[in-house]
Structure 1
Amino acid sequence: MRTSIAVLVLVLAVARAAPAGDATGAFAPYEDLLEVLADLTWHLKDDAYRFPPPKDPTGHDLYQLALHRLENWEKRYPGRLRDVTGYARAEALEHLGEYKAAADLYRQVAALPSPLAARAREGGERAGAFADAAALPEDAPDVDGALAALRGKLEAWSKVVTRYGGTPWEPPALAEEERLEAMAARLVVAHRRAVEDGTTAAERALRFLIQKHAESKELPGHILHLADFYAELARDYVSEHERPLAFDEDEFVHRADRALDTYRKVATWDGAREKPEAQARFAALDAYKTAVLGRYR
């Protein structure tokens, strides 16, 4: 990806730097188009699977910010450096998951007499492959249909992961795969009562997500969802055993402590954005546990 900026610099080197004019605010075009392109290009190889998207000093998502600045530039200077801004917009869109729009822009640049045409053709092919997988349905009116749709889409993304394995485009494909697997797990959890041995299947799905995506930036969130599931099982036990003689304190404590231990993992995870939420849920469940034990003792 860094190679592309060298081509962009070459194109811009023969063109006079265009001033931004009187646009203001975080989304205004910079005094020199290279400033926008430099920020964008520096982050083109960022690992979107393991790390959160980059922010600029204003706190905005860098890819969105670059896209808006480039769009504002094109509005102020229509037709100027069209291949450069078009290619850069395609890169930003691709990193934002807008693969079809990115593929269309790449193909437009590929049709221009530009030093970027060859790289744009490559980008169009890649973004097109991502767009084809992203376009597949992922829901249906019933649970079985939704799970089947998710399986089909996961197979498509698995092929994309294999095709672009070891390249800067593997992480976004992994992130898409992870998102779909998380959807499938949530679907199983939500409908576990309607599925034979649904509780076991739901726990297995949540644990699979944690084990497979142990390197993902979303790992704390996956663990938090497992803790929520365990907390729900503890509450279910109480609602299903309301009579004092039916209530088994050891069983309830086992279920509640399992959830609390899982919440604690995220509640003590420095740097995790889910940490405050996990701390609050830990405190709430701990208070609930104390109240339930006080009621039945």
Structure 2
Amino acid sequence: MQISPAKNHLIRGVILAFEIFSLSACSSRTGPPDARYVPAGDLLDIVKDFQRLAKEDTYRFAIPKDVTGINIMKATLVRLNDYERKNPNQFSDIVQFNKALALERLREYDQAAALYRKVAETDGRLAAEAAKNAEILDQFLRIFDKVIPTDDPFKYIAGLDEKVAAWNQLMQKYQGTQYAFLARVEEERVDRAKVAFVEANRYRLKEGNQLTIVGYSQLVTKHQQSKNIYRFLLDFGDFYMVLANEYASQYDPEGLVFDIKVLDQFVKSALKLYTEVGQVDGIVEKIEAQGKIEAARGFLEKLTRLNR
């Protein structure tokens, strides 16, 4: 049966209309893009979440991540720089103040202080607070810049102790502010550096191994609330395993001088610390601790068999 040209034209029109309707229906179901993945173009969008997360205690907790999984301080710096490039001379005091806030959380105190001083020179509402923050960071920088003598290990340790005392004074002075936990972060870093120094120089120090054990014990006791406590416990356990390996290297496990009880004490001390970490759920160090537990047990079993 032949279809007339008029009917053929009508059929094509119906098909075309149906296709247009189908396409419009599909596009209407797509919806707007997820707001989380749209670049922030408004200063308020950049600052609002940052201001909330910037109040987190970075001594007890790791720096928060944004919705993309990036360090919020680093991400905010990138976004503020981008905003500043696209909107020159707009809300400069707010932009610079928040950049300084992010930088000080990243421990870039010199850059943060410089930005605070720029804001303090303006007549904006943030000028007074910026001047105060710059003055506090200058105190931080003075502690950093203090030279520690390196010609004698005991003088070096004494210099580190002086820095710890200085950070502790700032913690007390600015208790209840963000600068208290920032000072505590710095105090913790010096405490850890002191233990690392003693460990690295233990052969030059009388009773160096025992001093290192005491140092680790003081570190994990003092900083129990730190976000780094599980790392410190693992490091402490690792030191006991270093002692165990050194003992096994110094004395032949198959010989008569080798004392399995000494090795057993070192390894079990390490296992106790590893187990403490391995029993904590929700931390990344748990997997590492479990691996260290298996390795330590295997090491002890091997040396025990050789000593029989």
Q: The TM-score by the shorter chain falls in which range?
A: 0.7 to 0.9
Q: Which residue of 1 aligns with 2:210?
A: 200
Residue 291 of structure 2 is matched in structure 1 by 280
Output the CA distance in 1 between the equivalents of 2:112 and 2:142.
Answer: 12
Structure 1 contact 29–73 (Cα < 8 Å) conserved: no
**Which residue of 253, 259, 269 corresponds with 1:258?**
269
- Residue 88 (str. 1) matches residue 86 (str. 2): no
Q: 1:76 to 1:31 in 2, by over 3 A?
A: closer
Matching residue of 1:5: none
Give the alignment of 1:189-228 within 5 angstroms: 189-228=199-238
Please give the residue correspondences for 1:96-245 in structure 2 after superposition, counting only pairs within 5 Å: 96-137=106-147, 140=150, 143-144=153-154, 146-242=156-252, 244-245=255-256
For residue 48 of structure 2, the aligned residue among 38, 50, 58 is 38
Stretches of structure 2 lacking an aligned partner (at least 5 in a row): 1-35
Secondary structure, aligned partner of 1:194: coil
Instruction: Flag as ranges the 4+ runs of structure 1 deviating above 4 A.
Output: 26-29
What is the total number of aligned residue pairs between the two structures?
272
Task: Tell me by how many angstroms 1:273 deviates.
Answer: 2.3
2:66 counterpart SS class: coil
| Cα displacement (A) at 1:28 | 8.8
1 CA distance for matches of 2:86 and 2:175? 40
> How much has 1:294 moved relative to structure 2?
1.6
The alpha carbon displacement at 1:204 in A equals 0.5
RMSD (CA atoms): 2.0
2:97 alignment partner AA: Y
Q: CA offset at residue 55 of structure 1?
A: 0.3
Q: How far did residue 44 of structure 1 move?
A: 2.5
CA distance in 1, matches of 2:280, 2:152: 37
User: TM-score with structure 1 length normalisation?
Assistant: 0.85
What is the CA deviation profile of residues 29-72 of structure 1, one whole-angstrom value per residue up to 9, with x for unaligned ones? 61211011101110222111111110011110001110111011
- Conserved in 1, the CA contact under 8 Å of 2:231 and 2:285? yes
Counterpart position of 1:74? 84
Determine helix, strand or coil for the equivalent of 1:35. Answer: helix
Residues 164 and 292 from structure 1, CA distance in 2 versus in 1: closer, same or farther, beyond 3 angstroms?
same
What is the letter of the counterpart of residue 174 of structure 1? R
Residue deviations 1:186-220 (CA, integer Å, cap 9, x gap): 11112212210111111110000011111111111
Q: Is the 8 A contact 2:103 2:109 kept in 1?
A: yes
Q: 1:212–1:110: structure 2 CA closer, same or farther, 3 Å change rule?
A: same
Distance 1:52 1:139, change over 3 A: farther
Structure 1 residue aligned with 2:62, among 34, 52, 62?
Answer: 52
- Please list every run of 5 or more consecutive structure 1 residues that lacks an aligned counterpart in the other structure: 1-25
TM superposition score normalised by structure 2: 0.82
Report what 1:23 is aligned to.
none
Of the two, which has the highest radius of gyration? 2
